[in-house]
Amino acid sequence: MSIDLNAKIPNNVNLHEDKKLQRALEHWLPNYLSWWDEVGPEGFQTSDIYLRTAVSVDSGGWAHFDHVKMPDYRWGIFLTPNDGNKTIQYGDHIGEKVWNDVPGEYRKELRRLIVTQADTEPASVEQQRLLGQTAPSLYDMRNLFQVNVEEGRHLWAMVYVLHKHFGKDGREEAEELLTRRSGHVDHPRILQTFNNPMTNWLDFFCFTMFTDRDGKYQLGALAESAFDPLARSCQFMLTEEAHHLFVGETGIRRIVKRTCELMKEVPDGDVTKVGGIPLEVLQKHINHWFSSSMDLFGGENSSNAATYFSSALKGRFNENDRKRHPNATALEEDYSYTTVDEKGYVKTVNIPLRRAMNAVLLDDYVTDCTRALDKWNRTLEKAGVDYRFYLPTTKFHRNVGIYAGQNYTPDGTQILSDAEYKRHCEEVWFPTKEDKEYIDSLMVSVTEPGKFANWIAPPTRGINAQPLDFEYVKFH
Ligand SMILES: [Fe+2]
Ligand SMILES: [Fe+2]
Protein backbone atom coordinates (compact mmCIF):
# COMPACT_ATOMS: atom_id res chain seq x y z
CA MET A 1 0.00 0.00 0.00
CA SER A 2 2.20 2.81 -1.24
CA ILE A 3 1.53 6.49 -0.88
CA ASP A 4 0.71 8.45 -4.01
CA LEU A 5 2.62 11.59 -3.05
CA ASN A 6 2.29 13.35 -6.37
CA ALA A 7 -1.49 13.39 -6.40
CA LYS A 8 -3.21 16.67 -5.64
CA ILE A 9 -4.27 14.97 -2.40
CA PRO A 10 -1.48 12.57 -1.31
CA ASN A 11 -3.04 9.29 -0.24
CA ASN A 12 -2.63 5.55 0.17
CA VAL A 13 -6.29 4.74 -0.45
CA ASN A 14 -6.19 4.62 -4.28
CA LEU A 15 -8.20 7.79 -4.46
CA HIS A 16 -7.79 7.98 -8.28
CA GLU A 17 -9.99 4.86 -8.60
CA ASP A 18 -13.00 6.64 -7.14
CA LYS A 19 -13.49 9.70 -9.32
CA LYS A 20 -16.60 10.95 -7.54
CA LEU A 21 -14.92 10.91 -4.16
CA GLN A 22 -11.75 12.41 -5.60
CA ARG A 23 -13.74 15.31 -7.09
CA ALA A 24 -15.61 15.88 -3.83
CA LEU A 25 -12.37 16.04 -1.84
CA GLU A 26 -10.68 18.23 -4.46
CA HIS A 27 -13.62 20.55 -4.05
CA TRP A 28 -13.13 20.56 -0.26
CA LEU A 29 -9.37 21.21 -0.59
CA PRO A 30 -9.54 24.98 -1.50
CA ASN A 31 -12.07 25.50 1.32
CA TYR A 32 -9.65 23.82 3.69
CA LEU A 33 -6.80 26.05 2.47
CA SER A 34 -8.84 29.21 2.97
CA TRP A 35 -9.74 28.02 6.48
CA TRP A 36 -6.00 27.52 7.16
CA ASP A 37 -5.25 30.95 5.75
CA GLU A 38 -7.96 32.63 7.82
CA VAL A 39 -7.57 30.99 11.25
CA GLY A 40 -4.41 28.87 11.01
CA PRO A 41 -1.09 30.10 12.49
CA GLU A 42 -0.99 33.91 12.26
CA GLY A 43 2.09 35.00 10.27
CA PHE A 44 4.94 32.68 9.20
CA GLN A 45 2.97 31.32 6.25
CA THR A 46 5.83 32.23 3.91
CA SER A 47 8.56 31.02 6.28
CA ASP A 48 10.33 27.73 5.71
CA ILE A 49 9.68 25.38 8.61
CA TYR A 50 11.64 22.19 9.26
CA LEU A 51 8.66 19.82 9.14
CA ARG A 52 8.25 16.10 8.90
CA THR A 53 5.82 14.77 6.33
CA ALA A 54 4.43 11.25 6.01
CA VAL A 55 5.96 9.47 3.02
CA SER A 56 5.05 5.90 3.96
CA VAL A 57 2.71 4.23 6.42
CA ASP A 58 5.10 1.41 7.33
CA SER A 59 6.06 1.29 10.96
CA GLY A 60 9.29 3.23 11.32
CA GLY A 61 10.84 5.33 8.60
CA TRP A 62 7.60 6.97 7.52
CA ALA A 63 8.74 10.49 8.12
CA HIS A 64 10.61 12.78 5.80
CA PHE A 65 12.10 16.02 7.19
CA ASP A 66 12.59 19.14 5.12
CA HIS A 67 12.09 22.91 5.16
CA VAL A 68 8.54 23.49 3.93
CA LYS A 69 6.19 26.47 3.81
CA MET A 70 3.13 25.54 5.86
CA PRO A 71 0.57 26.12 3.06
CA ASP A 72 2.63 23.71 0.90
CA TYR A 73 2.55 20.94 3.53
CA ARG A 74 1.45 17.63 1.96
CA TRP A 75 -1.80 17.15 3.86
CA GLY A 76 -3.25 13.85 2.83
CA ILE A 77 -5.12 10.67 3.58
CA PHE A 78 -3.12 7.91 5.20
CA LEU A 79 -4.55 4.74 6.65
CA THR A 80 -2.60 2.01 8.38
CA PRO A 81 -2.71 -0.99 5.99
CA ASN A 82 -4.96 -3.93 6.91
CA ASP A 83 -4.47 -7.59 6.12
CA GLY A 84 -8.05 -8.03 4.97
CA ASN A 85 -8.82 -10.81 7.44
CA LYS A 86 -9.57 -8.87 10.57
CA THR A 87 -12.42 -10.00 12.79
CA ILE A 88 -14.14 -8.23 15.67
CA GLN A 89 -12.55 -9.15 18.99
CA TYR A 90 -14.90 -7.69 21.62
CA GLY A 91 -18.48 -6.76 22.42
CA ASP A 92 -21.52 -8.50 20.96
CA HIS A 93 -20.11 -9.19 17.48
CA ILE A 94 -17.04 -11.24 18.41
CA GLY A 95 -15.81 -13.37 15.50
CA GLU A 96 -17.65 -11.45 12.76
CA LYS A 97 -15.64 -9.78 10.02
CA VAL A 98 -14.83 -6.09 10.62
CA TRP A 99 -16.97 -3.71 8.55
CA ASN A 100 -15.67 -1.83 5.53
CA ASP A 101 -18.95 0.02 5.21
CA VAL A 102 -21.08 1.70 7.83
CA PRO A 103 -23.77 -0.65 9.17
CA GLY A 104 -27.14 1.12 8.90
CA GLU A 105 -28.05 0.47 12.54
CA TYR A 106 -24.92 2.24 13.84
CA ARG A 107 -24.75 5.05 11.31
CA LYS A 108 -25.95 7.77 13.68
CA GLU A 109 -23.62 6.79 16.52
CA LEU A 110 -20.59 6.43 14.24
CA ARG A 111 -21.24 9.77 12.62
CA ARG A 112 -21.44 11.41 16.04
CA LEU A 113 -18.20 9.79 17.22
CA ILE A 114 -16.33 10.81 14.07
CA VAL A 115 -17.63 14.38 13.95
CA THR A 116 -16.85 14.97 17.64
CA GLN A 117 -13.29 13.71 17.21
CA ALA A 118 -12.85 15.59 13.92
CA ASP A 119 -14.02 18.90 15.39
CA THR A 120 -11.23 18.96 17.98
CA GLU A 121 -8.53 18.93 15.27
CA PRO A 122 -9.22 22.30 13.57
CA ALA A 123 -10.36 23.70 16.93
CA SER A 124 -6.90 23.27 18.46
CA VAL A 125 -5.24 24.94 15.45
CA GLU A 126 -7.56 27.93 15.93
CA GLN A 127 -6.83 28.08 19.67
CA GLN A 128 -3.08 28.12 19.06
CA ARG A 129 -3.01 30.53 16.14
CA LEU A 130 -1.22 33.41 17.89
CA LEU A 131 1.45 31.42 19.71
CA GLY A 132 4.04 31.55 16.91
CA GLN A 133 4.54 35.22 17.70
CA THR A 134 5.88 34.50 21.19
CA ALA A 135 7.74 31.24 20.61
CA PRO A 136 10.55 30.83 23.19
CA SER A 137 12.91 29.47 20.50
CA LEU A 138 13.03 28.35 16.87
CA TYR A 139 12.95 24.74 18.11
CA ASP A 140 9.68 25.38 19.96
CA MET A 141 8.21 27.38 17.11
CA ARG A 142 8.89 24.50 14.75
CA ASN A 143 7.25 22.05 17.15
CA LEU A 144 4.15 24.25 17.41
CA PHE A 145 3.80 24.37 13.62
CA GLN A 146 4.42 20.63 13.35
CA VAL A 147 1.57 20.04 15.77
CA ASN A 148 -0.63 22.50 13.83
CA VAL A 149 -0.10 20.95 10.38
CA GLU A 150 -0.66 17.47 11.80
CA GLU A 151 -3.92 18.50 13.48
CA GLY A 152 -4.85 19.79 10.02
CA ARG A 153 -4.01 16.37 8.59
CA HIS A 154 -6.10 14.69 11.27
CA LEU A 155 -9.01 16.76 10.03
CA TRP A 156 -8.28 15.39 6.54
CA ALA A 157 -8.27 11.85 7.92
CA MET A 158 -11.73 12.27 9.44
CA VAL A 159 -13.14 14.19 6.47
CA TYR A 160 -12.09 11.36 4.17
CA VAL A 161 -14.10 8.89 6.27
CA LEU A 162 -17.10 11.25 6.29
CA HIS A 163 -16.97 11.83 2.52
CA LYS A 164 -16.39 8.23 1.58
CA HIS A 165 -18.84 6.55 3.94
CA PHE A 166 -21.57 9.01 4.90
CA GLY A 167 -22.77 10.38 1.56
CA LYS A 168 -24.53 13.73 1.53
CA ASP A 169 -24.60 14.16 5.33
CA GLY A 170 -20.89 13.33 5.45
CA ARG A 171 -20.12 16.10 2.98
CA GLU A 172 -22.29 18.53 4.94
CA GLU A 173 -20.51 17.62 8.16
CA ALA A 174 -17.17 18.19 6.40
CA GLU A 175 -18.26 21.71 5.44
CA GLU A 176 -19.46 22.40 8.98
CA LEU A 177 -16.04 21.41 10.31
CA LEU A 178 -14.61 24.37 8.41
CA THR A 179 -17.31 26.82 9.49
CA ARG A 180 -17.46 26.32 13.28
CA ARG A 181 -14.88 28.48 15.07
CA SER A 182 -13.15 28.06 18.40
CA GLY A 183 -14.71 30.51 20.85
CA HIS A 184 -17.33 31.85 18.43
CA VAL A 185 -20.47 33.03 20.24
CA ASP A 186 -22.97 31.64 17.73
CA HIS A 187 -20.99 28.89 16.06
CA PRO A 188 -18.48 27.45 18.55
CA ARG A 189 -16.56 24.18 18.45
CA ILE A 190 -18.44 21.18 19.88
CA LEU A 191 -16.46 20.56 23.08
CA GLN A 192 -16.10 23.43 25.54
CA THR A 193 -12.37 22.95 26.31
CA PHE A 194 -11.67 23.69 22.65
CA ASN A 195 -13.29 27.11 22.79
CA ASN A 196 -10.78 28.82 25.09
CA PRO A 197 -8.09 30.86 23.34
CA MET A 198 -4.49 30.15 24.22
CA THR A 199 -2.41 33.20 24.96
CA ASN A 200 0.76 31.73 26.38
CA TRP A 201 3.13 28.80 25.98
CA LEU A 202 2.53 27.38 29.43
CA ASP A 203 -1.07 26.78 28.34
CA PHE A 204 0.17 25.31 25.07
CA PHE A 205 2.44 22.83 26.86
CA CYS A 206 -0.36 21.94 29.30
CA PHE A 207 -2.76 21.48 26.39
CA THR A 208 -0.41 19.16 24.51
CA MET A 209 0.36 17.30 27.75
CA PHE A 210 -3.17 16.88 29.14
CA THR A 211 -5.75 17.61 26.42
CA ASP A 212 -3.91 16.02 23.47
CA ARG A 213 -3.40 13.04 25.76
CA ASP A 214 -7.17 12.69 26.06
CA GLY A 215 -7.01 12.62 22.25
CA LYS A 216 -4.52 9.76 22.42
CA TYR A 217 -6.93 7.68 24.48
CA GLN A 218 -9.98 8.55 22.37
CA LEU A 219 -8.04 7.68 19.19
CA GLY A 220 -6.77 4.51 20.87
CA ALA A 221 -10.36 3.47 21.63
CA LEU A 222 -11.53 4.32 18.08
CA ALA A 223 -8.49 2.50 16.64
CA GLU A 224 -10.26 -0.64 17.97
CA SER A 225 -13.46 0.13 16.09
CA ALA A 226 -15.12 -2.64 14.07
CA PHE A 227 -15.68 0.02 11.41
CA ASP A 228 -12.30 -0.64 9.85
CA PRO A 229 -11.72 2.58 7.85
CA LEU A 230 -12.13 4.52 11.10
CA ALA A 231 -9.86 2.13 13.01
CA ARG A 232 -7.10 2.37 10.41
CA SER A 233 -7.33 6.17 10.17
CA CYS A 234 -6.97 6.46 13.93
CA GLN A 235 -4.07 4.02 14.05
CA PHE A 236 -2.05 6.23 11.76
CA MET A 237 -3.13 9.42 13.55
CA LEU A 238 -1.76 7.94 16.78
CA THR A 239 1.74 7.72 15.32
CA GLU A 240 1.63 11.48 14.68
CA GLU A 241 -0.02 12.23 18.02
CA ALA A 242 2.95 10.82 19.95
CA HIS A 243 5.02 13.85 18.98
CA HIS A 244 2.38 16.26 20.30
CA LEU A 245 2.45 14.56 23.70
CA PHE A 246 6.24 14.67 23.68
CA VAL A 247 6.10 18.43 23.07
CA GLY A 248 3.82 18.95 26.08
CA GLU A 249 5.51 16.61 28.53
CA THR A 250 9.06 17.74 27.78
CA GLY A 251 7.97 21.38 27.52
CA ILE A 252 6.76 21.35 31.13
CA ARG A 253 9.81 19.39 32.21
CA ARG A 254 12.08 22.04 30.68
CA ILE A 255 10.18 24.76 32.56
CA VAL A 256 10.62 22.81 35.83
CA LYS A 257 14.33 22.45 35.16
CA ARG A 258 14.75 26.15 34.42
CA THR A 259 12.74 27.21 37.48
CA CYS A 260 15.00 25.06 39.69
CA GLU A 261 18.06 26.80 38.22
CA LEU A 262 16.53 30.24 38.77
CA MET A 263 15.53 29.40 42.37
CA LYS A 264 19.23 29.17 43.19
CA GLU A 265 19.82 32.69 41.91
CA VAL A 266 17.44 34.34 44.41
CA PRO A 267 17.97 33.97 48.15
CA ASP A 268 14.24 33.62 48.95
CA GLY A 269 13.60 31.35 45.97
CA ASP A 270 11.04 33.76 44.49
CA VAL A 271 11.69 33.22 40.78
CA THR A 272 9.30 35.98 39.69
CA LYS A 273 12.18 38.35 40.56
CA VAL A 274 14.28 36.76 37.84
CA GLY A 275 11.59 36.06 35.24
CA GLY A 276 10.92 32.41 36.05
CA ILE A 277 7.67 30.47 36.41
CA PRO A 278 7.01 29.55 40.09
CA LEU A 279 6.38 25.87 40.77
CA GLU A 280 3.10 26.75 42.56
CA VAL A 281 1.86 28.45 39.39
CA LEU A 282 2.76 25.35 37.41
CA GLN A 283 0.77 23.25 39.88
CA LYS A 284 -2.26 25.50 39.39
CA HIS A 285 -2.01 24.96 35.63
CA ILE A 286 -1.81 21.20 36.17
CA ASN A 287 -5.00 21.41 38.27
CA HIS A 288 -6.80 23.37 35.59
CA TRP A 289 -5.77 21.41 32.49
CA PHE A 290 -5.95 17.97 34.08
CA SER A 291 -9.44 18.47 35.50
CA SER A 292 -10.88 20.04 32.36
CA SER A 293 -9.32 17.32 30.18
CA MET A 294 -10.88 14.57 32.35
CA ASP A 295 -14.31 15.91 31.44
CA LEU A 296 -13.59 15.08 27.79
CA PHE A 297 -13.86 11.38 28.64
CA GLY A 298 -17.60 11.75 29.31
CA GLY A 299 -19.61 10.31 32.17
CA GLU A 300 -18.14 7.38 34.12
CA ASN A 301 -21.54 5.66 34.22
CA SER A 302 -22.77 5.93 30.67
CA SER A 303 -25.33 4.09 28.56
CA ASN A 304 -23.75 5.54 25.40
CA ALA A 305 -20.39 4.06 26.39
CA ALA A 306 -22.07 0.68 26.92
CA THR A 307 -23.66 0.85 23.46
CA TYR A 308 -20.38 1.85 21.81
CA PHE A 309 -18.64 -1.11 23.42
CA SER A 310 -21.32 -3.74 22.82
CA SER A 311 -21.61 -2.70 19.17
CA ALA A 312 -17.79 -2.61 18.90
CA LEU A 313 -17.76 1.00 17.70
CA LYS A 314 -15.22 1.93 20.38
CA GLY A 315 -13.11 -0.46 22.44
CA ARG A 316 -10.85 -0.09 25.43
CA PHE A 317 -7.26 1.15 25.09
CA ASN A 318 -5.21 -1.81 23.75
CA GLU A 319 -8.44 -3.81 23.62
CA ASN A 320 -6.77 -6.88 22.16
CA ASP A 321 -4.29 -7.19 24.98
CA ARG A 322 -6.13 -9.96 26.83
CA LYS A 323 -3.71 -9.82 29.74
CA ARG A 324 -5.07 -6.37 30.45
CA HIS A 325 -8.61 -7.03 29.37
CA PRO A 326 -9.20 -10.76 29.95
CA ASN A 327 -12.94 -10.45 29.48
CA ALA A 328 -13.62 -9.63 25.82
CA THR A 329 -17.38 -9.27 26.27
CA ALA A 330 -17.02 -7.22 29.48
CA LEU A 331 -20.09 -9.01 30.77
CA GLU A 332 -20.46 -10.38 34.31
CA GLU A 333 -17.93 -7.92 35.62
CA ASP A 334 -18.53 -4.78 37.65
CA TYR A 335 -16.71 -1.50 37.99
CA SER A 336 -16.82 0.13 41.40
CA TYR A 337 -16.26 3.66 42.57
CA THR A 338 -16.85 5.63 45.73
CA THR A 339 -18.95 8.71 46.04
CA VAL A 340 -21.12 10.36 48.68
CA ASP A 341 -24.86 10.05 49.15
CA GLU A 342 -27.27 12.95 49.81
CA LYS A 343 -26.50 12.81 53.53
CA GLY A 344 -22.79 13.04 52.94
CA TYR A 345 -21.95 9.39 53.71
CA VAL A 346 -19.32 7.72 51.57
CA LYS A 347 -20.77 4.85 49.56
CA THR A 348 -19.39 2.35 47.07
CA VAL A 349 -21.29 1.96 43.83
CA ASN A 350 -21.00 -1.03 41.50
CA ILE A 351 -22.03 -0.68 37.88
CA PRO A 352 -21.79 -3.15 34.97
CA LEU A 353 -18.34 -2.86 33.36
CA ARG A 354 -19.82 -2.00 29.97
CA ARG A 355 -21.42 1.11 31.40
CA ALA A 356 -18.03 2.11 32.85
CA MET A 357 -16.01 2.16 29.62
CA ASN A 358 -15.36 5.91 29.85
CA ALA A 359 -14.08 5.40 33.41
CA VAL A 360 -11.84 2.52 32.28
CA LEU A 361 -10.33 4.74 29.58
CA LEU A 362 -9.96 7.59 32.06
CA ASP A 363 -8.09 5.28 34.48
CA ASP A 364 -5.53 4.49 31.76
CA TYR A 365 -5.18 8.21 31.08
CA VAL A 366 -4.60 8.96 34.77
CA THR A 367 -1.87 6.29 34.95
CA ASP A 368 -0.15 7.89 31.96
CA CYS A 369 -0.37 11.40 33.48
CA THR A 370 1.00 10.07 36.79
CA ARG A 371 4.02 8.67 34.94
CA ALA A 372 4.76 12.11 33.45
CA LEU A 373 4.27 13.80 36.81
CA ASP A 374 6.75 11.37 38.40
CA LYS A 375 9.31 12.43 35.80
CA TRP A 376 8.80 16.12 36.62
CA ASN A 377 9.17 15.28 40.30
CA ARG A 378 12.43 13.46 39.57
CA THR A 379 13.67 16.64 37.87
CA LEU A 380 12.88 18.51 41.11
CA GLU A 381 14.58 15.85 43.20
CA LYS A 382 17.71 15.89 41.04
CA ALA A 383 17.91 19.67 41.41
CA GLY A 384 17.69 19.33 45.20
CA VAL A 385 14.36 21.14 45.39
CA ASP A 386 11.87 19.88 48.02
CA TYR A 387 8.67 20.87 46.20
CA ARG A 388 6.63 18.03 44.60
CA PHE A 389 3.78 18.21 42.08
CA TYR A 390 0.59 16.28 42.66
CA LEU A 391 -2.11 15.07 40.32
CA PRO A 392 -5.62 15.88 41.60
CA THR A 393 -8.03 12.96 41.99
CA THR A 394 -10.60 12.15 39.32
CA LYS A 395 -13.21 13.63 41.69
CA PHE A 396 -11.73 17.10 41.57
CA HIS A 397 -13.47 19.99 39.80
CA ARG A 398 -15.57 17.94 37.43
CA ASN A 399 -18.37 19.30 35.29
CA VAL A 400 -19.21 15.97 33.71
CA GLY A 401 -19.94 12.56 35.19
CA ILE A 402 -20.55 11.10 38.63
CA TYR A 403 -18.57 13.76 40.51
CA ALA A 404 -19.92 16.76 38.60
CA GLY A 405 -20.73 19.67 40.87
CA GLN A 406 -19.33 18.01 44.03
CA ASN A 407 -16.93 20.20 45.94
CA TYR A 408 -14.04 17.77 46.38
CA THR A 409 -10.58 18.99 47.35
CA PRO A 410 -7.77 18.02 44.92
CA ASP A 411 -6.75 15.08 47.15
CA GLY A 412 -10.36 13.84 47.18
CA THR A 413 -10.51 13.53 50.95
CA GLN A 414 -12.85 16.41 51.74
CA ILE A 415 -15.95 18.07 50.39
CA LEU A 416 -16.04 21.81 51.06
CA SER A 417 -18.98 24.15 51.47
CA ASP A 418 -19.90 26.10 48.34
CA ALA A 419 -18.33 29.30 49.69
CA GLU A 420 -15.08 27.63 50.80
CA TYR A 421 -14.83 25.72 47.53
CA LYS A 422 -15.33 28.86 45.48
CA ARG A 423 -12.70 30.69 47.50
CA HIS A 424 -10.15 27.89 47.03
CA CYS A 425 -10.85 27.74 43.29
CA GLU A 426 -10.33 31.48 42.96
CA GLU A 427 -7.36 31.91 45.28
CA VAL A 428 -5.53 28.63 45.73
CA TRP A 429 -6.11 25.88 43.18
CA PHE A 430 -6.32 27.61 39.81
CA PRO A 431 -4.28 30.32 38.06
CA THR A 432 -5.42 33.75 39.21
CA LYS A 433 -5.78 36.78 36.99
CA GLU A 434 -2.40 37.97 38.33
CA ASP A 435 -0.76 34.61 37.56
CA LYS A 436 -2.06 34.76 34.02
CA GLU A 437 -0.90 38.34 33.54
CA TYR A 438 2.51 37.41 34.88
CA ILE A 439 2.88 34.37 32.58
CA ASP A 440 1.67 36.41 29.60
CA SER A 441 4.28 39.07 30.47
CA LEU A 442 7.08 36.48 30.19
CA MET A 443 6.17 35.59 26.63
CA VAL A 444 8.79 37.04 24.31
CA SER A 445 9.73 35.95 20.85
CA VAL A 446 13.22 34.42 20.66
CA THR A 447 14.28 33.83 17.06
CA GLU A 448 18.06 33.57 17.23
CA PRO A 449 19.07 29.95 16.45
CA GLY A 450 20.13 28.08 19.61
CA LYS A 451 18.77 30.74 22.01
CA PHE A 452 15.92 30.10 24.45
CA ALA A 453 13.65 32.39 26.46
CA ASN A 454 14.75 32.86 30.07
CA TRP A 455 11.82 30.89 31.57
CA ILE A 456 12.53 27.59 29.83
CA ALA A 457 15.58 25.30 29.59
CA PRO A 458 16.78 24.04 26.19
CA PRO A 459 15.75 20.47 25.29
CA THR A 460 18.30 17.67 25.63
CA ARG A 461 18.45 17.13 21.89
CA GLY A 462 17.22 18.65 18.64
CA ILE A 463 14.66 17.39 16.14
CA ASN A 464 15.75 14.58 13.80
CA ALA A 465 19.26 14.63 15.34
CA GLN A 466 19.80 18.24 14.28
CA PRO A 467 21.80 20.47 16.65
CA LEU A 468 19.97 22.88 18.99
CA ASP A 469 21.23 25.89 17.04
CA PHE A 470 19.84 24.52 13.78
CA GLU A 471 17.74 26.98 11.80
CA TYR A 472 14.43 25.21 12.42
CA VAL A 473 12.56 28.18 10.95
CA LYS A 474 13.85 30.39 8.14
CA PHE A 475 11.98 33.68 7.93
CA HIS A 476 11.00 35.22 4.63
FE1 LIG B 1 -5.03 15.38 16.40
FE1 LIG C 1 -2.59 16.35 18.73
Query: Residue 422 C-alpha to ligand 1 middle, in angstroms?
Result: 34
Q: Among all ligands shown, which has an atom nearest to the Cα of 157?
A: 1
- Alpha-helical regions (H) of 40-106: none
- List CB-based neighbours of ion ligand 2 within 5 Å: 212, 241, 244
C-alpha–C-alpha distance, residues 399 and 397, integer Å: 7
User: Among the CATH numbers 1.10.620.20, 1.10.10.10, 3.30.70.20, 3.30.420.10, which is that of 15-474?
Assistant: 1.10.620.20
* Maximum Cα–Cα distance across the chain: 70
Do 335 and 350 form a contact (C-beta atoms < 8 A)? yes
Do 273 and 191 form a contact (C-beta atoms < 8 A)? no
Query: Residue 363 C-alpha to ligand 1 middle, in angstroms?
Result: 21
b/e per residue, 245-266, with b = 16+ CB within 10 A?
bebbbbbbbbbbbbbbebbeee
C-alpha–C-alpha distance, residues 239 and 365, integer Å: 17
Query: Residue 339 C-alpha to ligand 1 middle, in angstroms?
Result: 33
pLDDT value for 7: 85
Do 364 and 371 form a contact (C-beta atoms < 8 A)? no
pLDDT value for 61: 60
Query: Residue 107 C-alpha to ligand 1 middle, in angstroms?
Result: 23
Measuring CA to CA, which residue among 373, 383, 163 is closest to residue 265?
383
- For residue 300, what are the contacts with CB-CB under 8 A and spacing of at least 6? 337, 356, 358, 359, 362, 401, 402
Q: Quote the strand ranges of 332-410, DSSP E.
A: 334-340, 346-352
What is the amino acid identity at position 170? G
Q: Among all ligands shown, which has an atom nearest to the Cα of 246?
A: 2
Do 390 and 410 form a contact (C-beta atoms < 8 A)? yes
Query: Residue 118 C-alpha to ligand 2 middle, in angstroms?
Result: 11
Query: Residue 400 C-alpha to ligand 1 middle, in angstroms?
Result: 22
Do 63 and 52 form a contact (C-beta atoms < 8 A)? yes
C-alpha–C-alpha distance, residues 328 and 320, integer Å: 8
Query: Residue 242 C-alpha to ligand 1 middle, in angstroms?
Result: 10
Query: Residue 154 C-alpha to ligand 2 middle, in angstroms?
Result: 8
Between helix 138-165 and helix 107-127 the angle, nearest 10°, is 160
Q: Where are the domains of the chain?
A: 15-474
pLDDT value for 55: 78
Measuring CA to CA, which residue among 175, 176, 142, 174 is closest to residue 159?
174
Q: What is the DSSP annotation of 113-148?
A: HHHHHHHHHHHHHHHTTTGGGG-SSHHHHHHHHHHH
Measuring CA to CA, which residue among 144, 145, 148 is closest to residue 248?
144
Compute the chain's Rg from CA coordinates.
23
Measuring CA to CA, which residue among 129, 144, 139, 123 is closest to residue 205?
144
pLDDT tens over the chain, length 476 residues: 577 877 889 999 999 999 999 999 999 999 999 999 999 999 999 999 999 988 777 766 678 899 999 999 989 999 998 878 899 999 999 999 999 999 999 999 999 999 999 999 999 999 999 999 999 999 999 999 999 999 999 999 999 999 999 999 999 999 999 999 999 999 999 998 899 889 999 999 999 999 999 999 999 999 999 999 999 999 999 999 999 999 999 999 999 999 999 999 999 999 999 999 999 999 999 999 999 999 999 999 999 999 999 999 999 999 999 999 999 999 999 999 999 888 888 899 999 999 999 999 999 999 999 999 999 999 999 999 999 999 999 999 999 999 999 999 999 999 999 999 999 999 999 999 999 999 999 999 999 999 999 999 999 999 999 999 999 999 98
Q: What is the DSSP annotation of 41-61?
A: SSS-TTSEEEEEEE---SSSS
Mapped onto helix, strand or coil, the DSSP state of residue 472 is: coil
Q: What is the DSSP annotation of 171-183?
A: HHHHHHHHH--TT
Q: Among all ligands shown, which has an atom nearest to the Cα of 121?
A: 1
